[in-house]
A and B are shown apart, each in its own frame.
Chain A
């Protein structure tokens, strides 16, 4: 079924490229040039870029896990469920495609970061791995949620009240250390904050084993929980 998603993607890849790569890059250049004029430009771009990378991974994951899943439950999943493919195979195929989308968007982003010397070439591989993990930590739980969804309005609500605020307030644009205690605790409990911190520390070369392990564990647990919940919900939805 992975072939199905790829065939589909061939028709729409230009649009998704704009959303997941071009938009954050424009953001980066705009903010980098604009705000960078006020602070030390190169330092701020180096700080901002990995934050935007993590946020872009979240956004790509959300875009791939919301409407496509909601629609597939009413179309292509049903078609596939009537064939030898079971709910597990259908889930894995879609997840593979989501991972492909996350990795390719992330790779384009990281490549630009390396070309502009925002990060070093040696840091590219771990950075890409961290961005994939960040994306998956969103892709699997959102997919599990969208599979059981009955009304499309909820998708809009998640984007507006979940994804967008997280994009803005998870330390993507600023140091969370500067926040007062309570907002800081809230921000640091958010999955994107862990993604941003992990990507940023890897990109700047400041990663320390302890915090990195916490971020990786947090994101892995989230991705794993989404996978397990998804397996259950795919089965319930497609083989009720």
Chain B
């Protein structure tokens, strides 16, 4: 019956400094889905995650997790959550096995149980041979995978990931995405924040686009792109100083035109046709690219700003 695991209504967080970090957002997270909060730094994503993780008390609105009240039942809820924080909170001076053991103890698990689960989780995280290595000897990508393995020690019903791949190199990101995708296939409910649109597109069934503490749009990646962008985008780059003049000549070619610091974007259902039209107006960009619209374009359309600035 309780397929809804998280229900938030007009959820608000006002920090002690008076800053409204989260401004009346409402959403439902269902069992087995992967839900993403997408937005730039300071949009309120991490604060929302902290409230869901029951380590930050909401200032207003209502929040219910697993049918429980996070203020009254924080420990009971946290016992059923897995948390992957933005900054690694592993202990560098302890070994991989010790980190898992200590974390398991926090959940009241016994040593044999922890040992058995650790073996399984390290295999999943591709860290089996690192069992007795100190964490300080691991790479950034390995540490992230260990943090994810650690967060699964209590077999959580919901896994919260706050910017899971920020700071990782592309290869490490892909390994991590693969692991998260497997978890999703196994039916683990994933809630993640990111400011990488490709990450959101790869992993999320549903996305809430956040800006300044509010939701500006919500839906599946495909729905969002269909609703808020054209099918294709033409990207034109110009020599320094020529961009403004060129943009003036491009009026009317596409449904919408966006001038960014480094390029001009033309939103059109047929990018090639728009490019031909641009050439027809004697515009000569250094490079041109026709691509499919992404969530980055959705965000730009909705807020007028880029995700990563």
Q: Is B81's CB within 8 Å of the partner chain A?
A: yes
B65 to chain A, nearest CB (A): 14
User: Once the chains bind, are A83 and B74 in contact (CB under 8 Å)?
Assistant: no
Distance of B83 from chain A, by nearest CB (Å) = 4
Highest count of chain A CB atoms <10 Å: which of B74, B85, B91, B106: B106
In the complex where A84-B107, A86-B74 touch, is A240 in contact with B93 (Cβ < 8 A)? no
Task: Give the distance in Å from the alpha carbon of A87 to the alpha carbon of B75 in the complex.
Answer: 11
By the criterion CB–CB under 8 Å, are B102 and A4 in contact? yes
Interface band, chain B: 20 to 34
User: How many chain A residues have a CB neighbour from B under 8 Å?
Assistant: 21
Taking CB atoms, residues of chain B closer than 8 Å to A8 are: 91, 93-94
**CA of A179 to CA of B108, assembled, Å:** 56
From B56, B89, B105, contact of A240 by CB (8 A): B56
Question: Interface segment, A27-35, A56-64, A74-82, A117-125?
Answer: A74-82
**In the complex, how many angstroms separate the beta carbon of B111 from the nearest chain A beta carbon?**
10
**Closest B residue, CB atoms, query A4:** B102
Task: Report Cα–Cα, A3/B102, bound state, in Å.
Answer: 7
User: Which chain A residues numbered 1 to 18 have a C-beta less than 8 Å away from chain B?
Assistant: 1, 3-4, 7-8, 11
Closest to A90 in B: B106
Q: Could you say which residues of chain B place their CB within 8 Å of the CB of A79?
A: 85, 89-91, 103, 106
The reply on A238 being an interface residue by CB < 8 A is: yes
Which of A7, A81, A82, A238 is within 8 Å of B102, CB to CB? A7
Q: Provide the B222-263 mask, 1 if CB < 8 A to any CB of A, else 0.
A: 000000000000000000000000000000000000000000
Say if the beta carbon of A85 comes within 8 Å of chain B: yes
Give every chain B residue within 8 A of A239 (Cβ-Cβ). 55-57, 74
A9 to chain B, nearest CB (A): 11
A80 / chain B contacts, CB cutoff of 8 Å: 106
Min distance, Cβ B75 to any Cβ of chain A, angstroms: 4
Report yes or no: B106 in contact with A7, Cβ–Cβ below 8 A: no
Could you say which residues of chain B place their CB within 8 Å of the CB of A81? 55
Q: Which of B57, B89, B93, B107 contacts A78 (CB 8 A)?
A: B89
Taking the nearest CB of chain A, how far is it from the CB of B135, in angstroms?
A: 11
Contact A11 B93 (CB under 8 A): yes
Once the chains are docked, how many angstroms separate the CA of A110 from the CA of B79? Answer: 43
Known contacts A78-B85, A238-B55; is-contact A84 B106 (Cβ 8 Å)? yes
Is B106 a contact of A85 with CB atoms below 8 Å? yes
- Check B201 for interface membership: any CB of A closer than 8 A: no
Name the B residues within 8 Å of A3 (CB-CB). Answer: 102, 105
- Cβ-closest chain B residue relative to A240: B56
Q: How far is the CA of A86 from the CA of B106 in the complex (A)?
A: 10
Q: What is the minimal beta-carbon distance from A70 to any residue of chain B, in angstroms?
A: 15
A240 touches B103 (CB 8 A): no
A64 to chain B, nearest CB (A): 16
Instruction: Report the minimal beta-carbon distance from A236 to chain B, rounded to whole angstroms.
Output: 8
Nearest first, the 5 closest Cβ-Cβ pairs linking A and B are A83-B106, A82-B83, A79-B89, A84-B75, A84-B79
A-B contact pairs, 24 of them (CB 8 A): A3-B102, A3-B105, A4-B91, A4-B105, A7-B98, A7-B102, A8-B91, A8-B93, A8-B94, A11-B93, A75-B91, A78-B85, A79-B89, A80-B106, A82-B53, A82-B81, A83-B78, A83-B79, A86-B75, A239-B55, A239-B56, A239-B74, A240-B55, A240-B56
